[in-house]
Amino acid sequence: MKNYCIIYLIRHGETDWNIKKLLQGHADIPLNEKGKTQAKQLAKKFSKIHFDSVFSSDLIRAIRTAEIIALEKKLAIITAKALRERNFGKYEGKSWIQGKISKLITKLEVKAKINKKDPFENDDMLMSRFTTFLRETAVAYLGKTVLIVSHGGPMRRFLLRLDPERYKKELGRVSINNLAYFKIRSDGTDFLLEEVFGVSIKR
What are the residue numbers of the active site?
12, 85
Is residue 85 helix, strand or coil? coil
Instruction: Show contacts of 122-126: CB within 8 Å, 24+ apart.
Output: 123/157, 126/86, 126/153, 126/154, 126/157
**To 5 degrees, how large is the angle CA 9–CA 11–CA 15?**
165
- Cα separation, 106 vs 26, whole angstroms: 19
Number of C-alpha atoms within 13 angstroms, CB side, residue 152?
A: 25
Contact 165, 117 (CB under 8 A): no
Helix or strand (DSSP H, E) at 137: helix 123-140
Sign, CA dihedral 78-56-159-131, equals negative
